[in-house]
Amino acid sequence: MSTLSEAQRRRTFAVIAHPDAGKSTLTEALALHAHIITEAGATHGKGNRKATVSDWMEMEKDRGISIASSALQFEYAPEGHADEPYVINLVDTPGHADFSEDTYRVLSAVDAAVMLIDAAKGLEPQTLKLFRVCKARGLPIVTVINKWDRIGREPLELVDEIVTEIGLQPTPLYWPVGEAGDFRGLAHVNDEGEADNYIHFTRTAGGSTIAPEEHFSPEDAAAREGDAWETAVEEAELLAMDGATHNQELFEQCETSPLIFASAMLNFGVHQILDTLCEIAPAPHGRESDPKAVESSTSAMDESRDLNDDFSGVVFKVQAGMDRNHRDTLAFMRVVSGEFDRGMQVTHAQSGRSFSTKYALTVFGRTRDTVETAFPGDIIGLVNAGSLAPGDTIYSGRKVQYPPMPQFAPEHFRTLRAQSLGKYKQFRKALEQLDAEGVVQILRNDLRGDAAPVMAAVGPMQFEVMQSRMELEYNVETVTEPIPYSVARRTDAESAAELGRQRGVEIFTRTDGEYIALFGDKWKLAFVEKENPHLTMEPLVAD
Distance in angstroms (rounded) separating the CA atoms of residues 285 and 264: 30
Is residue 203 located within the same domain as residue 325?
no
Q: How far lies 230's CA from each of 187, 245, 438, in Å?
A: 10, 19, 52
Q: Is residue 409's pLDDT more than 90?
A: no
Distance in angstroms (rounded) separating the CA atoms of residues 113 and 92: 10
Q: What angle do CA 515, 520, 524 make, to 5 degrees?
A: 95
Q: Is residue 257's pLDDT more than 90?
A: yes
537 Cβ neighbours under 8 A, 6+ residues apart: 489, 490, 491, 495, 499, 517, 525, 528, 529
Distance in angstroms (rounded) separating the CA atoms of residues 525 and 519: 6
Is residue 23 located within the same domain as residue 41?
yes
- In this predicted structure, which of 21-25, 215-219, 525-529 has the lowest mean pLDDT? 21-25
309 labelled ligand-binding: no
Q: Is residue 101's pLDDT more than 70?
A: no
Contact present, 451 and 479 (Cβ < 8 Å): no
The string of DSSP letters for 487-500 reads EEEEE-HHHHHHHT
Beta-strand ranges (E) seen in 128-239 are 141-146, 169-177, 185-189, 195-201, 213-216
Is residue 55 located within the same domain as residue 160?
yes
Is residue 180 located within the same domain as residue 248?
yes
Distance in angstroms (rounded) separating the CA atoms of residues 178 and 180: 7
Q: Measured in Å, how far apart are the chain's first and last C-alpha atoms?
A: 37
Q: How many domains does the chain have?
A: 3
CA dihedral defined by 434, 359, 402, 115, rounded to 10 degrees? -70
178 labelled ligand-binding: no
95 labelled ligand-binding: yes
Per-residue confidence (pLDDT) for residue 59, from 0 to 100 = 47
Which of 173, 128, 181, 131 lies closest to 154, judged by CA?
A: 181
Is residue 272 located within the same domain as residue 294?
no
CATH code, domain with 467? 3.30.70.3280
Is residue 166 located within the same domain as residue 212?
yes
Q: Is residue 340's pLDDT more than 90?
A: yes
Distance in angstroms (rounded) separating the CA atoms of residues 522 and 96: 25
Distance in angstroms (rounded) separating the CA atoms of residues 284 and 165: 30
Asked, for residue 8, whether it belongs to a domain, the answer is no
Is residue 352 located within the same domain as residue 482?
no
E strand or H helix that includes residue 273: helix 270-280
Q: Is residue 537's pLDDT more than 60?
A: yes
φ/ψ of 3, rounded to 5, equals -55, -40
Strands 379-383 and 360-364: antiparallel
Q: Which domain holds residue 19?
A: 13-280
DSSP code at position 263:
B
357-397 pLDDT tens trace: 988 887 665 677 888 999 999 999 898 766 788 889 999 99
Mean pLDDT confidence for 275-288: 94
Asked, for residue 434, whether it belongs to a domain, the answer is yes
451-492 pLDDT tens trace: 999 999 888 888 888 898 888 888 999 999 999 999 999 999
Contact present, 106 and 316 (Cβ < 8 Å): yes
Distance in angstroms (rounded) separating the CA atoms of residues 399 and 78: 38
Q: How far lies 10's CA from each of 111, 131, 138, 364, 534, in Å?
A: 10, 23, 19, 17, 51
Q: At 16, is the pLDDT very low, low, confident or very high (cuts 50, 70, 90)? A: confident
CATH code, domain with 344? 2.40.30.10
State pTM to two decimals.
0.80
18-61 pLDDT tens trace: 778 888 888 889 888 887 776 655 333 433 334 444 444 454 44
Q: Which residues pair with 304 in a beta bridge?
A: 288
Q: Domain end: 247, 280, 313, which one?
A: 280
Is residue 331 located within the same domain as residue 385?
yes
Is residue 273 located within the same domain as residue 292?
no
Per-residue confidence (pLDDT) for residue 518, from 0 to 100 = 96
Interhelix angle 125-136/155-166, rounded to 10 degrees, is 60
Mean pLDDT confidence for 284-305: 83
Mean pLDDT confidence for 511-515: 90
Q: Is residue 151's pLDDT more than 70?
A: yes
Average pLDDT, the chain: 86
Q: Is residue 496's pLDDT more than 80?
A: yes
Q: At 95, is the pLDDT very low, low, confident or very high (cuts 50, 70, 90)? A: low
Contact present, 319 and 473 (Cβ < 8 Å): no
More confident residue, 536 or 56: 536
Is residue 216 located within the same domain as residue 352?
no
Beta-strand ranges (E) seen in 243-291 are 256-261, 287-288
φ/ψ of 403, rounded to 5, equals -55, 145
Which of 530, 450, 22 lies closest to 270, judged by CA?
A: 22
Q: Is residue 235's pLDDT more than 90?
A: yes
Per-residue confidence (pLDDT) for residue 63, from 0 to 100 = 47
Highest mean pLDDT among 124-128, 266-270, 538-542: 266-270
Asked, for residue 25, whether it belongs to a domain, the answer is yes
Is residue 416 located within the same domain as residue 387?
no
96 labelled ligand-binding: yes
Per-residue confidence (pLDDT) for residue 40, from 0 to 100 = 58
CATH code, domain with 242? 3.40.50.300
The string of DSSP letters for 176-201 reads EES-TT---EEEEE-TTS-EEEEEEE
Distance in angstroms (rounded) separating the CA atoms of residues 361 and 357: 10
Per-residue confidence (pLDDT) for residue 43, from 0 to 100 = 35
Per-residue confidence (pLDDT) for residue 383, from 0 to 100 = 86
Per-residue confidence (pLDDT) for residue 368, from 0 to 100 = 76
Q: Is residue 64's pLDDT more than 50?
A: no
Strands 195-201 and 185-189: antiparallel
Is residue 364 located within the same domain as residue 420?
no
Mean pLDDT confidence for 408-432: 90
Per-residue confidence (pLDDT) for residue 82, from 0 to 100 = 73
Per-residue confidence (pLDDT) for residue 407, from 0 to 100 = 67
